């Protein structure tokens, strides 16, 4: 009897043990299929080169970039795989998981073939401004041809997920928000300094935004811009007084301190803050208010907060990659990132949110500075190229056949070519051959070539990823490495060269596996990676791949 009871007890124990394992496995599997995060925070830093992480590393605090690197996943070989590398296409590509070839945002401003005029990537006269009487709110994402990961989140949860997108730049807010954002806000300078939106999203500002504007907390930033730390900490930047930087209007020299109150009226009032680190501070202020007032990350349905820090781009354009102004802006941005993370810890909970940080493009060092360091670099006269193209076409075909030249693309007048009985492919090829022979041009490709040949690497592949068959030009061309069409001061971007494509990618928080990779990843990989983490469908034009090493399973 004792032996039988022992056997019964053993069998019962084994049954209960196996059942508990099966229950635990099912529970684990069930949890594995749920989104591990309450809130995704997408941070895009405008014009951030990857090496800003490493160059200023010793001066960063423990709570900002270092926290993201030490506790998160770092993609060290992360690139844009298309050109032009500019703000509109960059934000669109981060959030759609594809390139201009598919999502259609081929530039900040680009030539519209149908209307024969230049259009703005986020401009839309069908809608009115909200929060300001000027036209600066007449925006929408209508030129974006695909869905975004923010759209897919809204679709997945039948509009229960909340998406809020903010930036100093309108396009930096409109494009990440996608077509279905609850709200997108951007900054307007002038005498007041306001956060505004468009009737595409709402008919009136929410009370909290109106109250935020009325409080005029932005007034605290009307003060001189001094170095954050002792000047000795800025030894990895060029001397403050140099020939590579552009001063603000009214300044004799582009040197510290920058007396913003004295320069105020000549530089658009509150608009001058865009080109200082204070622009990033006021964006964080507004983001934290949105986090609180919109109750983001407070229920079982994941929300999305898209933040684009734009002042880094304004500062880079004016003062250049190697300036003390750029270094100071990033040291201060590091503190803004720390402030954002602390607020997320308090409101959403440590380990309860996911954050990614990347850029919309990188930038070239000032060519004049590179020349002085004996590195091949220089400047291209865009007007000379235009004049050369017009003259060549006139001499070769006896007529003016060029409708527009923009974003290093030549748009031919199709009706004129047809009226003269010319073959479009032959005109394209002849023009490409002419451009290829110029000493200021490194590469030139026809639309015919980009449509008929599948390139898998190099410059032609990058151009092909940026070529949209319905919106791009007839001939695309590229300057020589290190050469730009720009002023002799400040940095710019837009090319398919490595200095414009290499950007950071940091992933941090819930669902992220800490680590790093030097394997090549691409900007189009971000959206599918976040989509896998959220368990939602990929944006409908996605061409990138999830970065599986960055995800915790």
Active site residues: 87
Residue 217, classified by CB atoms within 10 Å of its CB into exposed (0-12), middle (13-18) or buried (19+), is middle
| 8 Å CB contact between 226 and 256 | yes
Could you give the residue ranges of the DSSP H alpha helices within 320-453?
A: 324-347, 367-372, 382-397, 414-419, 424-437, 447-452
Helix (H, G, I), strand (E, B) or coil at 79: strand
For residue 405, what are the β-bridge partners? 410
| 8 Å CB contact between 331 and 259 | no
> What separation in angstroms does the CA of 352 have from each of 299, 378, 530?
11, 49, 15
As given in the structure block, the two tokens for residue 461 are: 């592949």
| 8 Å CB contact between 320 and 490 | yes
**Closest of 356, 331, 327 to residue 521, by C-alpha:** 356
CA torsion sign, 98 to 99 to 104 to 110?
positive
Report residue 255 CA to chain centroid gap: 28
Could you give the residue ranges of the DSSP H alpha helices within 438-509?
A: 447-452, 458-466, 498-501
Report the greatest alpha carbon distance in the chain: 112
Q: How far is 7 from 332, CA to CA, in rounded Å? A: 70
Identify whether 32 is preceded by a cis peptide bond (ω within 30 of 0).
Answer: no
> What separation in angstroms does the CA of 292 have from each of 63, 93, 105, 172?
21, 28, 32, 21
Q: What is the DSSP string of 229-265?
A: S-GGGGTTS--SS-SS--PPTT-SSS-SSB-HHHHTG
Long-range CB contacts (< 8 A, 24+ apart) of 60-67?
Answer: 60/331, 60/334, 61/334, 61/335, 61/338, 63/335, 63/337, 63/338, 63/341, 63/342, 64/333, 64/334, 64/335, 64/336, 64/337, 64/338, 64/341, 65/334, 65/337, 65/506, 67/337, 67/338, 67/341, 67/508
Q: How far is 47 from 312, CA to CA, in rounded Å? A: 6
Q: How far is 426 from 158, CA to CA, in rounded Å? A: 51
Residues contacting residue 162 through CB under 8 Å, at least 6 positions apart: 182, 294, 296, 303, 304
Measure the CA angle with vertex 78, ends 73 and 83; round to 5°: 150
Phi, psi of 437 (to 5 degrees): -85, -15
Helix axes 526-534, 87-96, angle to 10 degrees: 30
């Amino acid at each position: 009897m004792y032996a039988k009871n022992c056997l019964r007890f053993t069998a019962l124990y084994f049954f209960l043990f196996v059942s508990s394992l099966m229950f635990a496995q099912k529970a684990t599997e069930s949890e594995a299929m749920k989104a591990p995060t309450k809130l995704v925070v997408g941070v895009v830093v405008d014009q951030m080169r990857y090496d800003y992480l490493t160059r200023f590393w010793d001066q960063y605090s423990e709570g900002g970039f270092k926290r993201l690197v030490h506790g998160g996943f770092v993609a060290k070989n992360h690139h844009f795989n298309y050109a032009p590398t500019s703000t509109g296409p960059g934000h669109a590509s981060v959030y759609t998981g594809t390139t201009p070839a598919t999502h259609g945002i081929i530039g900040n401003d680009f030539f519209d073939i149908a209307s024969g005029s230049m259009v703005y990537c986020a401009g839309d006269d069908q809608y009115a401004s909200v929060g300001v009487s000027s036209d600066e709110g007449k925006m929408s994402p209508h030129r974006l041809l695909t869905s975004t990961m923010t759209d897919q989140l809204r679709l997945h949860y039948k509009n229960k997920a909340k998406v809020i997108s903010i930036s100093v730049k309108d396009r930096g807010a409109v494009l990440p928000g996608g077509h279905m954002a609850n709200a997108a806000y951007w900054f307007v300078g002038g005498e007041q300094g306001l956060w505004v939106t468009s009737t595409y999203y709402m008919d009136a500002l929410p009370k909290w935004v109106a109250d935020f504007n009325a409080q005029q907390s932005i007034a605290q930033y009307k003060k001189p811009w001094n170095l954050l730390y002792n000047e000795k900490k800025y030894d990895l930047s060029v001397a403050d007084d140099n020939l590579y930087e552009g001063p603000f209007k009214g300044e004799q020299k582009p040197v510290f301190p920058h007396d913003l109150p004295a320069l105020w009226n000549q530089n658009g009032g509150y608009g001058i803050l865009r080109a200082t680190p204070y622009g990033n501070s006021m964006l964080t202020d507004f983001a934290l208010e949105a986090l609180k007032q919109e109750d983001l990350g407070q229920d079982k349905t994941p929300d999305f907060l898209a933040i684009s820090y734009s002042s880094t781009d304004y500062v880079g354009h004016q003062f250049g990659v190697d300036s003390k102004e750029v270094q100071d802006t990033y040291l201060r941005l590091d503190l803004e990132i720390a402030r954002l993370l602390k607020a997320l810890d308090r409101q959403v909970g440590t380990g309860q949110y996911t954050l990614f940080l990347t850029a919309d493009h990188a930038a070239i060092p000032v060519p004049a500075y590179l020349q002085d360091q004996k590195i091949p670099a220089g400047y291209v006269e865009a007007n000379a190229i235009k004049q050369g193209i017009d003259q060549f076409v006139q001499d070769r075909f006896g007529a003016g056949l060029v409708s527009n030249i923009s974003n290093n693309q030549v748009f031919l007048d199709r009706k004129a070519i047809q009226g003269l009985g010319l073959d479009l492919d032959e005109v394209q090829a002849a023009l490409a051959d002419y451009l290829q022979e110029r000493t200021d041009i490194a590469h030139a490709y026809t639309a015919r070539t980009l449509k008929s040949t599948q390139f898998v690497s190099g410059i032609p592949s990058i151009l092909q990823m940026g070529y949209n068959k319905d919106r791009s030009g007839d001939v695309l061309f590229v300057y020589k490495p290190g050469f730009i069409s720009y002023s002799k001061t400040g940095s710019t971007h837009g090319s398919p060269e490595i200095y414009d494509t290499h950007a950071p990618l940091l992933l941090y928080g819930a669902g992220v596996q800490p680590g790093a990779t030097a394997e090549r990843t691409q900007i189009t990989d971000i959206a599918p990676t976040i989509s896998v983490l959220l368990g939602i469908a990929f944006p409908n034009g996605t061409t990138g791949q999830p970065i599986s090493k960055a995800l915790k399973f």
